[in-house]
Structure 1
Amino acid sequence: MIDLFAGPGGLCEGFSSVVDAAGARGFAVKVSIEKDPVAHRTLLLRAIFRSFPKGKVPSCYYDYVRGAITRDQFLAHADVKDAAEHAAKEARCAELGVIPPEEVDGWIRQAIGSQTDWVLIGGPPCQAYSLAGRSRLRRKDVKKFEADARHFLYTEYLRIIREFAPAVFVMENVKGMLNSKNAGKHIFERILADLKAPRADLSYEIRSLVVNKQDGELEPNDYVVEADDHGIPQSRHRVILFGIRSDLAAATPALAGRPERFLLRKMPKKVGVSAALAGLPPLRSRLSKEPDSQEAWIKALGEAPLKLKGWRLPLRGDIEAAMEKFAKRAEKHATFGAPFIEGDVAPGGAMPNDLQRWYLDPKLGGVLHHETRRHMRSDLHRYVFAACFAATQKYAPDLRNFPPKLLPDHVNVDEETIPFKDRFRVQMGKHPSSTVVAHIKKDGHYYIHPDPAQCRSLTVREAARLQTFPDNYFFEGTRTEQYGQVGNAVPPLLAKQIGQIILDFMTSPRRQ
């Protein structure tokens, strides 16, 4: 397997977790390429982790992620030195489209050797395809937006296909690419046409992972995978293309005889935020732009009901009572967390057993990246209101539901159209979260914790749980950089399910 635009390794993690009937790993990551130096450090660290059998990871890895030893000490440790050297050949820090193609081709050629049945995975950067990205970039400079090279980074993916003809490819991107245009033409149509026929003597059948239709019958929306249908505690909808080299497709009877084998299965019940976050220690948030203490934080929460004065809706009484109740409960939350919190993680019956097996690692002995942000006092008032509104009304409010005194300064409650009306968004405990995106690194307003007594945005670990990264997955960099890596990733547990389908295809009987 080769992974392009790998980020912190979500696709790699999922595919590497797939095992065959004998219990052996179904995929070997030979090359993964990521341009961001910090995400690459995360990718490299996880490559070292994966080089050991499950349960056999050396204790020095845990010492490092807990902060007991430095990265240099870890990499030089006798127990991982060989694995680190191997990982450095696998995880490459390079920007596709900038680095000379010959260098990339050399890495891949050395990695795959004479293999013809191998898998290419990856998701080219999506800023130019996403709705928010298009709006922001167009607003700045239309001509610059049209010429943005990120529209065409998929051509680097295409070039590898053209050069090496993998048996299968899996390409992931945002749903916005379906209606994104460049020079008046739909980009998705061009991408599909290019991927179906990379060169005159090479063609691919591009299948959906969720809709049972033949290649020529598929509509653009048929390629959209809704992650929350497949056990991911997040409403993340992404375009995922499953490309099969035409000669292999024609030689695999199961594709036509049992096509449902190669579709993702819907789960009978969706996983909610509270189930995914179960077992993580409750934390208080912190105050920004003023001295912080537990007492000052409690006082700030106690002030929040005063912001409801003049708001004359019938539901005010219920929300005000809830705000007072949860402010009292908040007194129990003394800690704002730490990069590592020692202690047992016991989600109990609140989390499905299969998720417990996926997330938890007893050897870790605690929780990584579980530390809260600082929030301005005015935002804390909005957070506790939004969370109490959701707790009492059973739906998340938007700015149209906010009392006038809690609206941001630039918003007028009398305006017919309020821009960014979901600017402060509480996550509902019994439902999958909204999409975790890289914007979470800028502020936490879209990711308010469902528990009003904690009155805060999500920690890096909580965001990672919603993205289904195992608890022992360590993200390098500052907290802001960690948030960005989590938001840019593919959910590993979804990637594992896709990888299982790919392995099923790769090991299916072929006609001679």
Structure 2
Amino acid sequence: MDNNKPLLRISDIAEKLNVSLKTVRRHIHSGKLQSTKIGGVHRISEADYLQFLNTFKSETIEKQGAEKQPKHLKSKKTDTINWTDISDLWDTPKATQLTSADLFSGTGGMALGFQLAGFTPLCGLDWFKEAGESYRKNLKHPHIEGDITSNAIKKEFIYTVKQQLNGKPLTVLSGGFPCQGFSMSGSRIVEDERNSLYKDMLDIISELNPEYIVAENVKGLRSMLKGKVENKIIKDIEALGYNVNVTVLNAADYYVPQKRERIIFIANKINKTNYHPAPLLEPATYITTKEAIKDLIKVKDNPSINHVRTKHREDMKTRLAAVPEGKSLYDNYSDSWKKCSWNEASCTIKENHGGVNIHPIEPRVITVREMARLQSFPDWFIFEGSKSKQMVQIGNAVPPLLAKAIGLAIRKSYDEK
């Protein structure tokens, strides 16, 4: 032991590693971190600390409070997750100087969520015409409609963002990129033309150099090519100078009345901790379908608020009424024509080739406004295009309250000294 250097306390180690006191004690009790008890209090030498740091270098990014990971989020895959409590910011987050921009923006769920979290959205980009119309109708910042693979469109998006930044850094660039174009050639992952969208996102990241990246995708991405796709995405983002953390979040944990699990990559290049928002609700206290849409049963059809019931034939009404909650009308289409649970958070909301969710009480599919409620869109958010296009927009959207939670977690990260 080097007697010339003062011994470190547990609190000193916790501060150096940016972890909780409980985490440091756990490493001491496991024998990974050597300590000496002096007067009944653990003291650690500088040499023992450095040995621990070198041997267990990955611990320097260990999560604060990860031992509190919710049971309903645990999976076979081990994630390094930094949970942060956002409850103190949830009700009245103040506006900040932080900025955001979103690729594959759809109708604007991610942009709205970051706006609710106190960010200033600068620009969105998507090719879907009707989604762009909805985006521009409800959100006041610019939106570029076009194909991200077009150099002209990419340049327009980058220029629009940089013009508004006026020399300042972009805080967050987000995107829910398509991922169908990955396949294997021998032991190597290859990408077909469908994945040029993913490559274009990386190009824009490289050009705009945002401080944080948020990437959202379906939970199934985790199992693509036995996890190799997820690992490639992490390595590609790390190659741009970012550290990355990834896990699955359930929208219902953040006041969205819907059980919707999505994989969320959070990355930064400004030497901060990547935080994921700790759940605000337990499964027993989720917002239910009944709480979210019961009042709309008494509201007459009104196209101006996107609330128009589908007119089914009598035989179809009988069939829809007979479907049990949580089950599908068709055995071979389990992800569409599924009936929402009335006294629980809804099953995942989606539009699948005309097959939307079945109302739990009335013998019909749910309306656009009911879909929007279950996705946590406010009633003032009006969707453009035909009814079928409106449903596609909502089914593909990031729930705004999930995006808000992610935005608040990034605020916690950004503000941490």
For the criterion TM > 0.5, the same-fold answer is yes
2:58 maps to none
Task: State yes or no: 1:496 paired with 2:372.
Answer: no
The whole-number CA distance in structure 1 between the counterparts of 2:196 and 2:222 is 14
Alignment CA distance shift 1:105-1:504 (3 Å) = same
The whole-number CA distance in structure 2 between the counterparts of 1:506 and 1:12 is 18
- Give 1:369 deviation, angstroms: 0.9
Pairs within 5 Å for 1:176-325: 176-181=220-225, 186-198=228-240, 203-208=241-246, 223-245=247-269, 248-249=270-271, 252=272, 255=273, 262-268=276-282, 269-282=285-298
Q: Which structure 2 segments of 5+ residues have no match?
A: 1-99, 184-189
The whole-number CA distance in structure 2 between the counterparts of 1:33 and 1:424 is 30
- Give 1:31 deviation, angstroms: 1.5
2:354 maps to 442
Say which SS state the counterpart of residue 382 (structure 1) adopts: helix
2:384 maps to 476
1:373 maps to 310
Say which SS state the counterpart of residue 349 (structure 2) adopts: coil
- Give 1:431 deviation, angstroms: 1.2
The whole-number CA distance in structure 2 between the counterparts of 1:12 and 1:422 is 27
Identity of aligned residues (%): 29
1:68 maps to none
The whole-number CA distance in structure 1 between the counterparts of 2:335 and 2:402 is 27
Contact 2:170-2:208 at 8 Å conserved across structures: no
1:157 maps to 201
The whole-number CA distance in structure 1 between the counterparts of 2:317 and 2:151 is 46
1:30 maps to 122
The whole-number CA distance in structure 1 between the counterparts of 2:326 and 2:351 is 21
1:217 maps to none
Contact 1:469-1:491 at 8 Å conserved across structures: yes
Say which SS state the counterpart of residue 271 (structure 1) adopts: coil
2:132 maps to 40
The whole-number CA distance in structure 1 between the counterparts of 2:227 and 2:219 is 17
- Give 1:185 deviation, angstroms: 8.5
Correspondence for 1:2 among 101, 104, 121: 101
Q: RMSD in angstroms over aligned alpha carbons?
A: 2.6
Alignment CA distance shift 1:162-1:433 (3 Å) = same
Say which SS state the counterpart of residue 438 (structure 1) adopts: coil
Residues paired across the two proteins, number: 309
1:166 maps to 210
Contact 2:342-2:360 at 8 Å conserved across structures: yes
Contact 1:262-1:505 at 8 Å conserved across structures: no
The whole-number CA distance in structure 2 between the counterparts of 1:7 and 1:177 is 19
The whole-number CA distance in structure 1 between the counterparts of 2:297 and 2:371 is 14
The superposition leaves residues 253-300 of structure 1 with CA deviations (integer Å, 9 ceiling, x where unpaired) of xx4xxx8x75332413112111111321347xxxxxxxxxxxxxxxxx
The superposition leaves residues 425-454 of structure 1 with CA deviations (integer Å, 9 ceiling, x where unpaired) of 221111111211231x6133xx11111xx2
Alignment CA distance shift 1:383-1:5 (3 Å) = same
Calculate the TM-score normalised by the size of structure 1. Answer: 0.56
The whole-number CA distance in structure 2 between the counterparts of 1:147 and 1:206 is 22
Correspondence for 2:322 among 385, 389, 407: 385
Alignment CA distance shift 1:113-1:425 (3 Å) = same
1:142 maps to none
The whole-number CA distance in structure 2 between the counterparts of 1:163 and 1:147 is 22
- The structure, 1 or 2, with the larger RCO (C-alpha pairs under 8 Å, 6+ apart) is 1
Alignment CA distance shift 1:36-1:423 (3 Å) = closer
Pairs within 5 Å for 1:84-95: 87=141, 90-95=142-147
Calculate the TM-score normalised by the size of structure 2. Answer: 0.68
The aligned amino acid for 1:369 is: N
- Give 1:35 deviation, angstroms: 1.1
The superposition leaves residues 137-165 of structure 1 with CA deviations (integer Å, 9 ceiling, x where unpaired) of xxxxxxxxx86533342222211221222
